[in-house]
Amino acid sequence: MNQVDMTSKIATGNGFIAALDQSGGSTPKALKGYGIEEGAWGSDEEMFGLIHQMRSRIITSPSFSGDKVLGAILFERTMDGQVDGKPTPRALKDKGVVPFIKIDKGLEDEANGVQLMKPMPELDALLGRAKDLGVFGTKERSVINLANREGIAAVVKQQFDVARQVLAAGLVPIIEPEVNIKSPERAEADAILLDELVRALDSMPGDEKVMLKLSIPAEAGLFDPLVDHPRVLRVVALSGGYSRPDACRELSKNRGMIASFSRALLEDLRHQMSDAEFDRALGQAIDEIYEASTDKVAA
């Protein structure tokens, strides 16, 4: 797939984006969910080796293909590694799956009800390496815990500042200002975020487009203006702590939003499964998430 092919697939394809980008802090939890307890590795290198084996198993599974999986978001180490003897982005593209890379380095402490991204001093080098490996886009995450307009405006400003840097490198940014679905002010935070995102999108120069990765809104259909915005290539949804059945049910109520699930995609997969069992469990998850992404229901 070339850039035009990947852009078309992400913009108009039927399916969803798999999030395979658990980083250092979340890797032990991901491995435990996969059936590998924390004492199973003696160093960070061994831990990252185990999570790479898990991701390789997912990517090489017969169920994981571009028929229903439009794209996959990778952790930096996964991007730099190999799957089936090929650079991981190439292995994905050979299966018809568009590669993305997680670029944020974690979150700052909460202030004004939000957590901004930590500085990324080596971002230009990472973007250049990703581009050389054939990666299509990036993903960068902030968190919104309260309906604080000043804080949410700061999140959106920072996200669009980074997005401009990503676009300048020839990649497509997935802007991810996650609203905590357990927030007591969730609906209000959703509404403020919508206002700030529309304002930032309307102010973008030129004709470049970004993607948005958002929590499923408390009010179904709230993000329709973002789905329809001419500067948005695609709106994807994170599962945000929902179980897969709950995430799929809520996502199906939102027109134009497709999934970009991590835990909800992987929750039934176990290290101890045979390859046939693993592929069957992954295939079931893919089918459910695909249906919620493509078959919408009335709220």
- Selecting among 93, 213, 250, 288, the annotated active-site residue is 213
CA 171, distance to chain mean position in Å, is 15
Backbone angles phi, psi at 155, to 5 degrees: -60, -50
Q: What is the pLDDT of residues 113-140, one digit of tens each?
A: 999 999 999 999 999 999 999 999 999 9
Amino acid 12 reads T
* CA neighbor of 275 nearest in space, from 26, 33, 57, 103: 57
What does the pLDDT read at residue 298? 82
pLDDT in tens, 76-103: 999 999 999 999 999 999 999 999 999 9
The chain-wide mean pLDDT, for the chain, equals 95
Q: What is the mean pLDDT of residues 210-221?
A: 97
- Residue burial 97-124, b: 16+ Cβ < 10 Å; e: rest: bbbbbbbbbebeeeebbbbbbeeeeebe
Give percent above pLDDT 70 in the chain.
99
> Would you call 76 a catalytic residue per the annotation?
no
Determine the pLDDT at residue 30: 87
- Please say whether the beta carbons of 102 and 91 come within 8 A: no
Q: For residue 37, what pLDDT band results from cuts at 50, 70 and 90?
A: confident
Span between the terminal Cα atoms of the chain, in Å = 36
Q: 3-state SS of the chain: helix, strand, coil percent to 5?
A: 45, 20, 35
What is the tens place of the pLDDT at every residue in 162-196?
999 999 999 999 999 999 999 999 999 999 999 99
Distance between CA atoms of 209 and 3, rounded to whole angstroms?
14
- Among candidate residues 144, 133, 100, the one with its CA nearest the CA of residue 233: 100
| pLDDT computed for residue 24 by the predictor | 61
Distance (Å, whole) CA 134 – CA 2? 9
C-alpha 172: how far from chain center: 13
Mean pLDDT computed over 274-291: 97
Closest CA to 103 of 123, 83, 78, 125: 123
213 catalytic per annotation: yes
Who's near 246: CB < 8 A, 6+ residues apart? none
Q: Looking at 176, 178, 196, 250, which residue is catalytic?
A: 176
Buried b (16+ CB within 10 A) or exposed e, 201-221: beebeeeebbbbbbbbbbebe
